[in-house]
Chain A
Amino acid sequence: SAVISQKPSRDICQRGTSLTIQCQVDSQVTMMFWYRQQPGQSLTLIATANQGSEATYESGFVIDKFPISRPNLTFSTLTVSNMSPEDSSIYLCSVEFGINQPQHFGDGTRLSIL
Chain B
Amino acid sequence: GDSVTQTEGPVTVSESESLIINCTYSATSIAYPNLFWYVRYPGEGLQLLLKVITAGQKGSSRGFEATYNKETTSFHLQKASVQESDSAVYYCALGATNTGKLTFGDGTVLTVKP
A interacts with B: no
Chain A interface residues toward B at CB < 8 A:
none
Chain B interface residues toward A at CB < 8 A:
none
